[in-house]
Amino acid sequence: DQQVKQNSPSLSVQEGRISILNCDYTNSMFDYFLWYKKYPAEGPTFLISISSIKDKNEDGRFTVFLNKSAKHLSLHIVPSQPGDSAVYFCAASLNSGNTPLVFGKGTRLSVIA
Amino acid sequence: EPEVTQTPSHQVTQMGQEVILRCVPISNHLYFYWYRQILGQKVEFLVSFYNNEISEKSEIFDDQFSVERPDGSNFTLKIRSTKLEDSAMYFCASSPWTRGTTDTQYFGPGTRLTVL
């Protein structure tokens, strides 16, 4: 049961360029989406979120885009930095957050200097 | 910046033994969660806890599991009789629960449980 899918297990990007991480979901009832970053031996760190009433949310170098009709969201990192190298998880929830998060499998981003 | 803390960072136990994983959520948060990640798999929800009772639980959270908030700061996950397949990273999370708005869950660093 893969309600949240991240189809790219890994991505390599040159420093300074844009990183685009993608996520698809199947449950149209999801109304809140989050991106977490995870370093080895650490817990997921919250990056950015978006509510289903919006199609874009921006925070510094990070922008999340939501396309509800396609059930697709993406995380853009511009410019990418070596410190951004980590595993990025997409997560979704019902009822705006205080319900179980459903995670994707993650995408490992490597930013090459 | 406030953060969720978890102890121990690594717990090794024998199959059939009881383990207690401990978490200190962010102090003004009201919702608490346990998730786990088996090596190579997704992060999976186990249980959520609000107002001193379980709010939701997954199929994984069977009778071998229990949660407790024994005092004003700690939140614990107990596994009564561990099995080999309980080996995983266990993450605690908390969220503030703000009525009428979206809430973000903040995660601790995790406890690696190894069952031998």
pLDDT at residue B17, as a whole number: 97
Does B91 sit within 8 Å of A99, measured CB to CB?
A: no
Q: Which among B43, B58, B109 has the least Cβ separation from residue A103?
A: B43
What's the pLDDT tens digit per position in B101-115?
667 899 999 999 999
| Straight-line distance from the first to the last Cα atom of chain A, in angstroms, rounded to the nearest whole number | 37
Share of chain A above pLDDT 90, in %: 88
3-class SS string, A44-79: CEEEEEEECCCCEEEECCEEEEEECCCCEEEEEECC
Q: Structure tokens of B45?
A: 């929800």
pLDDT value at residue A2: 73
What six digits make up the tokens of B59?
């199929």
Asked if B58 and A41 come within 8 Å (Cβ–Cβ), the reply is: no
Name the pLDDT band for B92 (thresholds 50, 70, 90).
Answer: very high
Q: A46 forms bridges with which residues in the sheet? A: A36
Distance from CA of A19 to the nearest CA of B (A): 22
Residue B28 has pLDDT above 90, yes or no: no
- The alpha carbon of B87 is separated from its chain's Cα centroid by a whole number of angstroms, namely 14
pLDDT at position B72, please? 77
- Residue B97, number of CB atoms within 10 A of its CB: 15
Residues in B touching A102 (Cβ below 8 Å): 45
Q: What is the dihedral of CA B80, B94, B10, B16, to 10 degrees?
A: 10
Q: What's residue A55's pLDDT?
A: 95
Q: How many residues does chain B have?
A: 116
Position B32 pLDDT exceeds 80:
yes
Q: Which of residues 10-49 of A touch B (CB under 8 A)?
A: 32, 34, 36, 41-46, 49
Question: Could you say which of A89, A98, A101 has the minimum Cβ distance to residue B45?
Answer: A101
Mutation site for B-interface testing, chosen from A3, A23, A64, A101 by largest number of B Cβ within 10 Å: A101
Alpha-carbon span B84 to B14, nearest angstrom: 9
Partner-chain contact B42 A34, CB within 8 Å? no
Mean pLDDT score, B81-88: 96
List pLDDT tens digits, range A37-88.
Answer: 999 888 999 999 999 999 999 999 999 999 999 999 999 999 999 999 999 9
Residue B82 has pLDDT above 90, yes or no: yes
B49-80 tens-digit pLDDT: 998 999 999 999 999 999 999 887 899 999 99
| Structure tokens belonging to residue B63 | 């009778």
Q: Is the CB of residue A2 less than 8 Å from the CB of residue A101?
A: no
B4 vs A contacts (CB less than 8 Å): 43
**Closest Cα in chain A, distance from residue B82 (Å):** 22
